[in-house]
Amino acid sequence: MVTFIAGLLDATVQAATVLLLAGMGELISERAGVLNLGVEGMMLVGALGGFITTVLTGSHWLGFGVGILLGMVLALVHAFLCITLKSNQVISGVMLTLLGTGLTTFFGSGWVEESIDGFPQMTFPLVGQYLVGVPVVGEALFRSTATDYLALGLLVVVWYFLHHSNLGLEMIAVGEDPEMADTMGVSVFRLRYLAVLIGGGFAGAAGAHLSLAFSQLWVPGMTAGRGWIAVALVIFAQWRPRRMLVGAYLFGLLDALRIRSQSISLTLGPDAPLAGVINPIVEFLMTPQIMGTYPYLATIIVLAYAVIRTKSDQLAVPSALLQSYSRETD
């Protein structure tokens, strides 16, 4: 049981990093008032770009950088359409996911068989080698890839940036009340562009982490809906970075549990009372595909609960989300 839990925690950390990176980017973008439904596409572009770069140059850090850059390129299209041309954010986002999926399937078909040396597992700098032996949590916390640590570090940066730096607070103001922010001398357009670009960079990083550290190979469509989970995660976290951490690990745990659910048995013994009724239900609920629905269902329930329970003006959703800003409104 101890080895099972240790393995589960290790898998949770790995699964959570992708969601954490993509989710942070989405959070920043939405905080500034721009919904980005193109995360999935940006992740795929980042994953393929990072992979190809690493194959060609042998440097996984260069690949990671290219992944971030390509995520930002796609985000620039989103920013131009949504901010400059005031297009519908939903349509633009879905289009970018389609485009990213299509482009990577198209150009990535020749790279499926390639293999790379991606990010290696390493112990945490300085203290890791002493702590990795700690039972149950040692491996999970202190032996991971560099990008796992990077994601956690970035979470602190994002939290500080959004809630304690001028630029971050201005960004939040832009997402809450662009007219007011504009009156106060904040450049709404510039800050929204910045937020969307940062968001795309994070999505690209999430994709590059996926292909360079998590699976170390390229398969078309390898994000497998994780970009959409990241969008859901932001709602789940109610647009707060710290809750994002909890959410990412919770969703990561669900992912890890699903993969490993075959090796555990929670059914009652055949003689236990009600075993005949409870066991089939438990077995059904433990089926990997059924477990796969939990993150989505949990998000719908949390979203509905949050909206129904609080008055809409108390909900954390940025007030100007989905609204394009135009100075000429009278």
The CA distance from 242 to 246, in Å, is 7
* Residue numbers at the binding site for other proteins (CB under 8 A): 37, 77, 81, 85-88, 90-92, 94-96, 98-99, 101-103, 105-107, 109, 220, 225, 228, 231-232, 235, 287, 289-290, 292-293, 296-297, 299-300, 303-304, 307-308, 312, 328
CB of 163 to other proteins, least distance (A): 24
Residues 6+ apart with CB under 8 A from 251: 15, 16, 19, 229, 233, 236, 295
CB of 103 to other proteins, least distance (A): 6
Residue 272: is it exposed, middle or buried by C-beta count within 10 angstroms (0-12/13-18/19+)? exposed
Residue matched to tokens 């990213």: 100
3-state secondary structure the chain: CHHHHHHHHHHHHHHHHHHHHHHHHHHHHHHCCCCCCCHHHHHHHHHHHHHHHHHHHCCHHHHHHHHHHHHHHHHHHHHHHHHHCCCCHHHHHHHHHHHHHHHHHHHHHHHCCCCCCCCCEEECCCCHHHHCCCCCCHHHHHEEEHHHHHHHHHHHHHHHHHHHCHHHHHHHHHHHCHHHHHHCCCCHHHHHHHHHHHHHHHHHHHHHHHHHHHCCCCCCCCCCCHHHHHHHHHHHCCCCHHHHHHHHHHHHHHHHHHHHHHHCCCCCCCCCCCHHHHHHHHHHHCCHHHHHCHHHHHHHHHHHHHHHHCCCCCCCCCCCCCCCCCCCCC
CB of 317 to other proteins, least distance (A): 8
The β-bridge partners of 122 are 144
